Amino acid sequence: MITENTTRDEQLNTKLSKNSTIKESQFGSGYLTVIKNAGKSNEEVICKDVHNVLTAEGTAWVHDQCYIDNSGQTGGARYIGLSNDGSFTPDRDDDRASWEAVEENSNGLVRANADSAVFNAGVSSTYIATSTIVKTFTCDTGAVAGIRVSSLLNNTRASGTSILVHSATFTSVDLEVDDTLQVTWVITLY
Amino acid sequence: MAKFHGDTLCVICGTKIEHFEWEGELKNGRLIPAIPCEECKKTL
């Protein structure tokens, strides 16, 4: 059975439709969906299409990569990170350093390259093009309480050079060993 | 008709499929096509 425990405020701040089609005319918006134990009998939808914060350094990076100085291509923003820090509220001025100060770095929840990264060109009736970026984490060493933030970056934590691009909070979720957390980011650009 | 490209995991064995192209509608709210890798295709 699927249950929805997203808070009312988060629901009010999203626009949902049958196919998660975002009708707002926004540039480069990210939407986050998190499902605990996806596909299992105890599956739980933690949040659905929560709108992101697009950071300033992320915005600059996207412009450089796409329009300005693409000679130094650094790879896609398809690395997904998690945090359970209760004090972290994503802000446009956040960056790699502020994110890594609160980021999970153990128990199977270390920032990782996406399992799937797929571009959908959309259909001619809407031209809503999306990139869907999915990673399923498995809590593997010890239980972790209060996971409540996810971010998209363009490299691993170990690289020390990544850019924090998108970040969003959701209703906190506790993970026991062997629990999974499927994190889906959908980025629209049209 | 929607067109997709990217990388994903094989729906059967979980092997990384580095690049695929897909054209068509997805059902049941899927955002990513569920596709098998070349090895698994041979067993179908």
Neighbouring-strand partners of residue A138: A180
Q: Look at residue A58 and tell me if it is in a domain.
A: yes
Residues A112 and A159 sit within 8 Å (Cβ to Cβ): no
- A119 interaction partners in chain B (CB closer than 8 Å): 4-6
Q: Torsion over CA of B34, B40, B43 and B44, rounded to 10 degrees?
A: 10
Arithmetic mean of pLDDT over chain A: 87
Q: What is the mean pLDDT of residues B7-19?
A: 95
Q: Look at residue A154 and tell me if it is in a domain.
A: yes
CB contact under 8 A, B4 and A19: no
Neighbouring-strand partners of residue B3: B23
Q: In terms of C-beta density within 10 A (0-12 exposed, 13-18 middle, 19 or more buried), how is residue A94 classed? A: buried
CB contact under 8 A, A119 and B32: no
ipTM: 0.89
pLDDT of B44: 85
Arithmetic mean of pLDDT over chain B: 92
Residue ranges per domain, chain B? 3-43
pLDDT of B2: 82
Domain count, chain A: 1
Q: Look at residue A104 and tell me if it is in a domain.
A: yes
pLDDT in tens, A95-147: 999 999 999 999 999 999 999 999 998 876 667 899 999 999 999 999 999 99
Give the domain range for residue A53.
29-189
CA distance A138 to chain B (A): 15
Of A2-6, A29-33, A66-70, A171-175, which range is least confident? A2-6
- pLDDT of A29 > 70? The answer is yes
- A131 interaction partners in chain B (CB closer than 8 Å): 6
pLDDT of A116: 97
Confidence of residue A71 (pLDDT cuts 50, 70, 90): confident
CA distance A107 to chain B (A): 22
Of A57-61, A175-179, B28-32, which range is least confident? B28-32
Confidence of residue A73 (pLDDT cuts 50, 70, 90): confident
> What is the helix, strand, coil percentage profile of chain A, to 5?
15, 40, 45
pLDDT of A166: 96
Across A95-133, b (16+ Cβ under 10 Å) vs e yields bbebbbebbbeebbbebbbbbbbbbbbbeeeeebbbbbb
Confidence of residue A92 (pLDDT cuts 50, 70, 90): very high
- pLDDT of A19 > 80? The answer is no
pLDDT of B24: 87
**C-alpha to C-alpha distance for A183 and A186, rounded to whole angstroms:** 10
Q: Give which of A56, A143, A44 is closest to A96, Cα–Cα.
A: A56
- pLDDT of A190 > 60? The answer is yes
Across A5-26, b (16+ Cβ under 10 Å) vs e yields ebeeebeeebeeeeebebeeee
Confidence of residue A15 (pLDDT cuts 50, 70, 90): very low
- pLDDT of B41 > 70? The answer is yes
CB contact under 8 A, A115 and B4: no
Lookup result for tokens 């270390």 = A110
Q: Look at residue A179 and tell me if it is in a domain.
A: yes
Confidence of residue A11 (pLDDT cuts 50, 70, 90): very low
Q: What is the mean pLDDT of residues A148-177?
A: 96
Q: Torsion over CA of B12, B14, B19 and B23, rounded to 10 degrees?
A: 40
Q: Look at residue A122 and tell me if it is in a domain.
A: yes
